[in-house]
A and B are shown apart, each in its own frame.
Chain A
Amino acid sequence: MRDLDRLTERMLRGLASRTSRRSLVGTVGRLLAGAAALPLLPVARAAEQSAPDTDPNSGQTPGFSTGNPQDPGDPTKCDYWRYCAVDGSLCTCYGGTVNSCPPGTEMSPVTWIGTCRNPADQRNYIISYNDCCGGVPWGRCACQNNQGDRPVVRPQNNNEVTWCFGVQSQSYTCTVAVILGVALDQH
C-alpha cells in the first residue's frame, strides 16, 4: 500500500509538473468519474470480428463449453470470443477459469481492458485482462490476439506488459478475461 501511495504521489507530481492546475483538476475529476463509470465508458469497439480463424491450441485440450448459449465457445481455446486481445497463457489451462486465477496464484488488480464482440448476442463487452501472478508458467495454451492492442507508448492499451502490479510476486503465470460490462457504442 505504501508503494501505491508513492506511486500515486509520483504520478500526480509528474502530472503537476506538466499541466496547469485547472487541467489537473479537470483530469483528476475525469479519472474519478471514469473509475465509477468504467463499464459504461464509450470504449471504441473493435471494428472487426473478434476471433481469428485459426486456433493455435487445437488438439492441446479436450473440447469444453461454458454451457451457456449466450457465452458460446471453449474458454480453453484461443478463439473463445473474450480472448480477442489476450497475449499470454490462458488460465483455463492451469486450473483457473475464464474469470478466476489458478490455485496458488494472485490476481493483479492493475490491468488493461479490451473490447470484444460476443457472437451470440452481438454486444460489445469490456473485458478486463487480469494477469495471475506468482505461479508456475510453462507456456501452455499460449494465445496471441491483438484486437485493440496498441504500442506500449500507451501502456494501458498494451498486452505485452506483464500486468502483475500490487501483488506479492510480479512473475507472470496466466491471464483471465473478466466481463466488466457492456461497451456503449460511440454512434
Chain B
Amino acid sequence: MTGRTRVWTVAAVAAVVSPLIAAAADFPTPLPSEPLMQVQRLPARYPTGWAFLNYAGDRIELRDVGADSREVKAELQAHDSATLLVSDVRPEIYVADTVWSRGTRGERTDFITVYDKQTLNVKGEIVLPGGKRALITAMEGLMTFTGDQRFAVVFNFTPASSVAVVDLTERKVANEIDIPGCSLVYPTGARGFSTLCSSGTLLSIRLGEDGKVVGRKESRAFNPLDTDPLFTASATVGGVRYFPSLHGRVQPIDMRGDEVKVLPDWRLVGDADAAANWRPSGWQIVAGDDKKLLYVVMQPDAHEGTHKDPGTEVWVFDVASKTRVKRLRLARPGSSIALTHGEQPLLLVQAGERLDVYDPAGGALVRSMDLPGFHTRLQIEPMR
C-alpha cells in the first residue's frame, strides 16, 4: 500500500465510522434483550371491528377490519368446506371440517375442532361419524348453533339429506335426523332449527334437552323454486330473517319462536328498476344492521346465469316501511357483504381479491384490504 492509498483508506474508514459513533451517542442505551417463547393471545371478547373471513371453506382468518395495518389477527385450519361457529356463551370456537388420512385419499374424517377463543389452542374434538357432512362451498346454513348454543346442527348431504345434532357441552353427537328433500339449517326458537325444502316449504324441528326431536312442523309452500327461488343467504333485522329471491323479492321469516311465521314477501325492485333488470346477485348477498336496515348486493342487466356474479351497487332498505332508503355505488363490483356490529357499523364488501370497507352512512370507501389466496367465494362473519 502506498502512502497515498493509506491516507485514502483512513479517510474512508473515518467517514464510515464517525456517523456510527455519532448515532451511538444519540442512543446511549442499547435495546433491551427480549423474552423468548412469546405467543400472542386474543382478547376474551373480540372487538366488534373484527371479522372472520372464510375462504370458501379452505382457509379461515380473523381480521381487524377497522385497522389500516397489522389487520390479520389469527388463522384457523380449514381443509374442505369448513364452517365456523363462534360462541358468546362459552369461550370457544367450533370449526367443522373434513380431511382424508392421505391428503386427498384414504380414510375420511369429519370433525368439529373446539378452539379456545383466546389462545386458539385446541381444547377438544368431536368426530362426526359416517362421512356425511355436506361438502359444499362454505356458506350460511351448513352449520348453526341452536338458540341456546347448547347444540350445533350440521347439515349432511350424501346425497341424502340429514343433520347431525352435536352436543357442544358434552362434546358428542347426540342425534341424527333425516330431513329428506330439505337442505341447510337455520336456528329457530330456543332450541331448534329450520330447513328449506324442495317442495317450497320450511320444515322446523324442535329439539329436547337430549337433542331428540320433540316437535316438527312444516310450513305452507312459499318458496317458488321454479320461477323465483329464494337465495339461501339471509340477514337478520329486528330478529326476523330476510331471504332475497333471484328476481328481487324479499321473504321475511320470523324464526324467533318455536312457531315459525312466514311473513308476507315484498319487492326490492320497483317497476323502473325491474325494467332495467336490476336483481340481487353475488354470494353472501345480504346483510342487516340488527335494527332496521337491510343491505342487498344488486346488479343491473341481470339475466339467467348472472345470479352469482358481483353486483355494482348495494341497496339499503328500511324493513319497516319496505322502501329503499339508499343506493351505495361500489368502488369495485362486490359479491359478499356484511356489516360489523358496533355502534358505527362498517360495511364489508368482498370485491375480487380485495375486501373493501365502507362507511355505510355516507357510502365512502374507508379502506381496502387484500385477500391473498382468494379464488372463489368468501363468507364474512363479523364479531358481536
Chain A residues within CB distance 8 Å of chain B: 3, 7, 10-11, 13-15, 17-18, 46-48, 84-85, 87, 110, 134-137, 139, 142, 144-155, 158, 160-162, 164-165, 168-173
Most B-side CB within 10 Å, residue of A151, A160, A168: A151
B181 touches A165 (CB 8 A): no
Interface segment, one of B39-47, B165-173, B226-234, B261-269: B226-234
Q: Which single member of A3, A144, A151, A162 contacts B230 (CB below 8 Å)?
A: A151
- Say how far A51's CB is from chain B's closest CB, in angstroms: 10
4 additional A-B residue pairs with CB within 8 Å, beyond A46-B304, A169-B100: A14-B178, A18-B181, A146-B305, A154-B198
* A9 to B314 Cα, complex, angstroms: 46
A165 touches B104 (CB 8 A): no
Q: Which single member of B135, B137, B162, B178 contacts A164 (CB below 8 Å)?
A: B135
Contacts A150-B229, A151-B232, A171-B104 given: A165-B304 contact, CB under 8 Å?
no
- Say how far B371's CB is from chain A's closest CB, in angstroms: 14
Q: Which single member of A137, A152, A169 contacts B183 (CB below 8 Å)?
A: A152
- Say how far A140's CB is from chain B's closest CB, in angstroms: 10
Chain B count of residues within 8 A CB distance of the other chain: 45
Q: Which single member of A10, A85, A171 contacts B180 (CB below 8 Å)?
A: A10
Residues of A contacting B307 in the complex (Cβ-Cβ under 8 angstroms): 146, 149
Residues of A contacting B157 in the complex (Cβ-Cβ under 8 angstroms): 155, 161
- Say how far B83's CB is from chain A's closest CB, in angstroms: 13
A84 touches B305 (CB 8 A): yes
B229 touches A142 (CB 8 A): no
User: How many CB-defined contacts (below 8 Å) exist between A and B?
Assistant: 118
B160 touches A154 (CB 8 A): no
Residues of A contacting B305 in the complex (Cβ-Cβ under 8 angstroms): 46, 48, 84-85, 145-149
* A139 to B375 Cα, complex, angstroms: 8
* A110 to B158 Cα, complex, angstroms: 10
B229 touches A148 (CB 8 A): no
Chain B 143-167: CB-based contact to A (< 8 A → 1; otherwise 0)? 0000000000000011110100000
Residues of A contacting B134 in the complex (Cβ-Cβ under 8 angstroms): 161
Contacts A18-B180, A48-B303, A48-B305 given: A168-B105 contact, CB under 8 Å?
yes
B198 touches A149 (CB 8 A): no
- Say how far A38's CB is from chain B's closest CB, in angstroms: 17
* A89 to B160 Cα, complex, angstroms: 25
- In the complex formed, the residue of B with least CB distance to A17 is B180
- In the complex formed, the residue of B with least CB distance to A161 is B136
B223 touches A153 (CB 8 A): yes
- In the complex formed, the residue of B with least CB distance to A135 is B104
Within 8 A of A (CB), among B174-215: 178, 180-184, 196-198
* A110 to B157 Cα, complex, angstroms: 13
- Say how far A135's CB is from chain B's closest CB, in angstroms: 6
- In the complex formed, the residue of A with least CB distance to B141 is A152
Residues of A contacting B105 in the complex (Cβ-Cβ under 8 angstroms): 134, 168-169, 171
* A169 to B99 Cα, complex, angstroms: 10
Q: List 14 A-B contacts (CB under 8 A).
A: A13-B180, A139-B375, A145-B305, A146-B307, A146-B309, A148-B304, A151-B232, A151-B246, A153-B230, A155-B157, A162-B80, A168-B105, A170-B135, A171-B105
* A10 to B196 Cα, complex, angstroms: 19
A149 touches B104 (CB 8 A): no
Closest 9 CB pairs of A and B: A14-B180, A171-B104, A147-B305, A162-B135, A160-B137, A153-B196, A169-B105, A146-B305, A151-B232
* A153 to B223 Cα, complex, angstroms: 10
- In the complex formed, the residue of B with least CB distance to A110 is B159
- Say how far A14's CB is from chain B's closest CB, in angstroms: 3
Q: Which single member of A142, A148, A164 contacts B375 (CB below 8 Å)?
A: A142
B183 touches A155 (CB 8 A): yes
* A148 to B303 Cα, complex, angstroms: 11
* A149 to B306 Cα, complex, angstroms: 10
- In the complex formed, the residue of B with least CB distance to A51 is B305
- Say how far B151's CB is from chain A's closest CB, in angstroms: 22
* A134 to B40 Cα, complex, angstroms: 37
Contacts A18-B181, A135-B104, A151-B229 given: A162-B81 contact, CB under 8 Å?
yes
Residues of B contacting A155 in the complex (Cβ-Cβ under 8 angstroms): 157, 159, 183
B225 touches A154 (CB 8 A): yes
Q: Which single member of A87, A136, A146 contacts B306 (CB below 8 Å)?
A: A146
Residues of B contacting A165 in the complex (Cβ-Cβ under 8 angstroms): 158-159
Residues of B contacting A11 in the complex (Cβ-Cβ under 8 angstroms): 160, 180
* A155 to B246 Cα, complex, angstroms: 16
Contacts A153-B225, A169-B100, A171-B105 given: A47-B196 contact, CB under 8 Å?
no
Residues of B contacting A171 in the complex (Cβ-Cβ under 8 angstroms): 80, 100, 103-105
Q: Which single member of A110, A137, A153, A173 contacts B229 (CB below 8 Å)?
A: A153
A151 touches B180 (CB 8 A): no
* A134 to B309 Cα, complex, angstroms: 29
